[in-house]
Structure 1
Amino acid sequence: MPPTPRDPGGPVEFRFGRLRRLSRRRPVRTVRVDGEPAEFLTDPALVRRVLVTDGKLYGKGELFQKARILSRAGLLAPDDSQHRHYRRLAHPYLRTAAVAGHAPLMERIARDTVAAWRPGRPVDVQAEMGRAAARIALATLLGTPPHGRADELAERLAVLSWEMSRKPLHGRAARRQDPSRRLARAFGGFRTLLASHVADALTAPAQDVAPGYLSALLADAGHGDADALGADEICAEAVMMLVAATVTTASVMSWSLYLLAEHPLVEEKVLKDLARTAAEDPGETGTAPAGHGHGGPPGYTLRFLTEVLRLYPPVWVTCRKALTEVALGERTYPAGTHVMFSSYFLHRDPVRYPDPHRLDPDRWLTARPTAHDGAYLPFGAGARGCVGEAFAWRELEILLGTVAREWRLTVPPGSRITASADTTLHPRRLVMIPQPR
């Protein structure tokens, strides 16, 4: 087969600020990431092919090492069979039925978080949402540690998650072999404390270990020819899962609260929807469980969150590596080719989403958020899609409902909120002023 010709337009250096300028007339365009060539996909059908239809032909990409210092085993393992094994271990604690059981604890943590706020006193929203998400992740995935240790673990996890969230994905800072000093310090502090908890769990009777992903890892006998994870690997896997659950939730909640403050009419509709939900079921403090693709249109609060994830997907860029020769469109590419796409770019395609930069929750009255056609991918798609999607929807609904019912948040006059495209797509800095409802 003849070699693939060079991109006639020449490769351009990949930058977040250039996403909108990448030609939509070309479904595949060659770009460079830190000097390495990659094929950037702008056609949702091709993205679906890479993630789903031909997913077995692609492995984990190497251009964006989002979790390089966290774990290389378990769910992040490049080997598909190993990934599937640990996915099966995690699934019982993240599936929809299990999430319903987590809801009361999520609600309690959310209430405790906002109860500490004071009228008129500025709140670092990302830090507060990070602390809430960290406590929820620890209690539901790790099992409840001793009280004193739980508080310290949550605080250290929140700090580590913030440092991971703003870790550069590419460029000079990302090319350094070692993480930044602050990230390394945050990682070491949390890892040491978590390792102590894991060591205690390893020596404790099985019935004394709280059920969760950690207990599943401790009881795991391995898979196929691979041995079970050792203590260090179990700790690394737990760190990865906890950080992933925290950074994404903190990012989405930060954007949600900011957008409510910037769009009073949307905020009013969310509050009415929350009041309606509470009136229909007084014992339910969160919104209805996510029901994408089932029954009628989702409620307004869920439509709002769906729209926030469209505009600001926390995992905004993804890379895969071809394991063999692959076909994309009318061209073929050799094994080893890096293939990448941006959910941020796909979510703002005016062909799929009219007036794509406008916040419009009601666009989801007729559309359905699905990864089926590759045009809506906040949680990825295919065999390596986010295993915690149902967990994330429920957590976001509960956190948003708790904050919005209790507090009206505003941005201080003169503040300029900008997006920072690092490991997650998060506000560069978001300080808001709370006032009671």
Structure 2
Amino acid sequence: MSEQGSPVFQFSRMESLLRGRRLRRLTVDGVDAVFVRDPVLVRRILVSESRNYGKGELFRKARNLSRVGMLSEDEAMHRHYRRLANPFLRSTKVDAYVPTMRDIVRDVVSSWRVGDAVDIQAEMCRITCAISVSTLIPGLSPRMTDALSERLSCLAWEMIRKPLYGRSAARAARPGASKRLSQARKEFRDLLAECIAGLPDDPDSAGGYLSVLLMDCDDEGNRLLTPEQVCEEAVMMMTAATVTTASVMSWALYVLSGNPLVEERLLKDLMRRGSAAQGLDTSSYTLRFLMEVLRLYPPVWISCRKTLVDVTLGDHSLPAGTNVVFSSYLLHRDPDCYPDPQRFDPDRWLSLNPGKVDASYIPFGIGSKGCVGEMFAWQELQAILDVVTQEWKLGTEPDHHIRTAPETTLHPRRLLMVPRPR
């Protein structure tokens, strides 16, 4: 990002270009845009004036997965399919998923061997994908559940590493360039289509979220989605539910490996809380730890909207059709909102309560387009963290530097960790 459209994406360069400015016109990935750094203005875009903004032209790979349902340009359709997903993601339902989540994590981490390096992000993909399939599509045979989980894990792993920006993204977008991603997507969709074809005509039957999508009808009883579209929507939903959580959990385990005092406090808090689901307990050190991980490493690190009408944002008049870009990575590291912003400090959340008047903390987004699975993600993160840390102490090789990869998600590039028993 630069005024000349440099293909190299560097967070330090972003900060330099935007320092002291609420808005700045830049060329982002070859497209003219206005970059917004002010959290109050970002909240206006996402909440109070959201009707004036639609999806932008940048960073829209998710739309390769689905053009119907929740990713539709039609606002009424978007809201409708959010409502269909909500029964599977509300707090009481998610609480009931926790034992299943914990069993899945135990099953995966029990395969680790003392002293053998583990590719943590690939393993987190295995865990989150198995959780997604088991909870959102109940009633499948164990064989089908395992097969779907494995294929979804392959797809999620390829999606996480797909370039989002610059020349690498342009090359990856060419027909036939992303062969592994295309193959992983096809294999998961083909198996998902088998599941959909085998569902009985009963929305209350086994199949959960898939059955609800398949049986969705208009007032005349006509089905709104074809089986193909149900498949597309489910692929989008389940991929989104896994790639972000896998990246966040990878960062969480990496942070613990380098902060023994933080790890000690976390283990004591997890022991005190036990295995019961306790929701978003703001007095919990575990929650504060995860909030701090999400502050420093938000998986959805950059977003784009497009003005649908002429708007005034701050002191700037923006005509309809303007791409407006903002970065949760930068918002979360704003020294005006977070003193010593680069320091990992879970206890900062004892006195902070962001998001009421601005967008200084938006790991799940905010407003009508905020993440529909936020409560699911919080419980999943806590369940994974609890089980993994009970079983293993993870460490990296001495002097091994982990690079930050701003791709589809903000993830650690090649995070190998060595497990030792507790």
User: Which AA in structure 2 matches 1:409?
Assistant: L
How many Å apart are 1:286 and its aligned residue?
A: 5.1
How many Å apart are 1:323 and its aligned residue?
A: 0.5
User: Which AA in structure 2 matches 1:288?
Assistant: Q
Q: 1:52: which partner in 2?
A: 47
2:250–2:412 Cα contact (<8 Å) kept? yes
How many Å apart are 1:118 and its aligned residue?
A: 1.4
How many Å apart are 1:97 and its aligned residue?
A: 1.1
Matches within 5 A, 1:292-371: 297-370=282-355
User: Which AA in structure 1 matches 2:50?
Assistant: G
Query: Structure 1 residues 369 and 115 mapped into 2: Cα distance closer, same or farther (>3 Å)?
Result: farther
TM-score (norm 2): 0.94
Q: Distance in 2 between matches of 1:99 and 1:195?
A: 26
Matches within 5 A, 1:34-73: 34-73=29-68
User: Which AA in structure 2 matches 1:419?
Assistant: T
Residue of 186, 189, 192 corresponding to 1:191: 189
Q: 1:390: which partner in 2?
A: 375
Q: 1:250: which partner in 2?
A: 246
User: Which AA in structure 1 matches 2:237?
Assistant: M
Q: Distance in 2 between matches of 1:359 and 1:111?
A: 28
Query: Structure 1 residues 229 and 32 mapped into 2: Cα distance closer, same or farther (>3 Å)?
Result: same
Residue of 234, 237, 259 corresponding to 2:233: 237
Q: Distance in 2 between matches of 1:223 and 1:48?
A: 36
Q: Distance in 1 between matches of 2:57 and 2:417?
A: 37
**Equivalent position SS for 1:206:** coil
**Equivalent position SS for 1:157:** helix
- 1:83 paired to 2:83: no
Q: Distance in 1 between matches of 2:419 and 2:149?
A: 23
- 1:154 paired to 2:149: yes
User: Which AA in structure 1 matches 2:121?
Assistant: Q
- Overall identity of the aligned pairs, in %: 52
User: Which AA in structure 2 matches 1:255?
Assistant: W
Aligned residues: 416
Q: 1:271: which partner in 2?
A: 267
TM-score (norm 1): 0.91
Q: Distance in 1 between matches of 2:222 and 2:359?
A: 34
Residue of 348, 367, 386 corresponding to 1:401: 386
Matches within 5 A, 1:101-180: 101-175=96-170, 176-178=173-175, 180=178
2:24–2:34 Cα contact (<8 Å) kept? yes
Q: 2:412: which partner in 1?
A: 427
Q: Distance in 2 between matches of 1:207 and 1:171?
A: 44
How many Å apart are 1:40 and its aligned residue?
A: 0.4
1:13–1:31 Cα contact (<8 Å) kept? no
Q: Distance in 1 between matches of 2:54 and 2:225?
A: 22
Q: 1:5: which partner in 2?
A: none
Q: Distance in 2 between matches of 1:267 and 1:240?
A: 34
Query: Structure 1 residues 98 and 208 mapped into 2: Cα distance closer, same or farther (>3 Å)?
Result: closer
Q: Distance in 2 between matches of 1:416 and 1:67?
A: 30
How many Å apart are 1:210 and its aligned residue?
A: 2.0
1:257–1:409 Cα contact (<8 Å) kept? yes
How many Å apart are 1:57 and its aligned residue?
A: 0.6
Structure 1, 424-433 or 408-417: larger mean CA deviation: 408-417
Q: Distance in 2 between matches of 1:369 and 1:289?
A: 19
Superimposed CA distance per residue, residues 19-71 of structure 1 (whole angstroms, 9 cap, x where no aligned partner): 22233321111121232101100000110000001001111111111313211
1:300–1:361 Cα contact (<8 Å) kept? yes
Q: 1:22: which partner in 2?
A: 17
User: Which AA in structure 2 matches 1:40?
Assistant: F
2:203–2:215 Cα contact (<8 Å) kept? no
Superimposed CA distance per residue, residues 309-354 of structure 1 (whole angstroms, 9 cap, x where no aligned partner): 0000000001001111011111211111000100000000011001
1:315–1:424 Cα contact (<8 Å) kept? yes
**Equivalent position SS for 1:38:** strand
How many Å apart are 1:84 and its aligned residue?
A: 0.1
1:287–1:301 Cα contact (<8 Å) kept? no
1:371–1:380 Cα contact (<8 Å) kept? no
- The alignment's C-alpha RMSD in Å is 1.9
User: Which AA in structure 1 matches 2:369?
Assistant: R
How many Å apart are 1:127 and its aligned residue?
A: 0.9
**Equivalent position SS for 1:423:** coil
Q: 1:282: which partner in 2?
A: none
- 1:182 paired to 2:167: no
Q: Distance in 1 between matches of 2:75 and 2:32?
A: 25
**Equivalent position SS for 1:238:** helix
How many Å apart are 1:430 and its aligned residue?
A: 0.5
Q: 2:202: which partner in 1?
A: 206
Unaligned runs of 5+ in 1: 1-8, 279-284, 292-296
User: Which AA in structure 1 matches 2:205?
Assistant: V
How many Å apart are 1:102 and its aligned residue?
A: 0.9
Query: Structure 1 residues 127 and 54 mapped into 2: Cα distance closer, same or farther (>3 Å)?
Result: same
Query: Structure 1 residues 249 and 211 mapped into 2: Cα distance closer, same or farther (>3 Å)?
Result: same
Residue of 412, 427, 433 corresponding to 2:397: 412
**Equivalent position SS for 1:332:** strand
Query: Structure 1 residues 220 and 118 mapped into 2: Cα distance closer, same or farther (>3 Å)?
Result: same
User: Which AA in structure 1 matches 2:246?
Assistant: A
User: Which AA in structure 1 matches 2:352?
Assistant: A
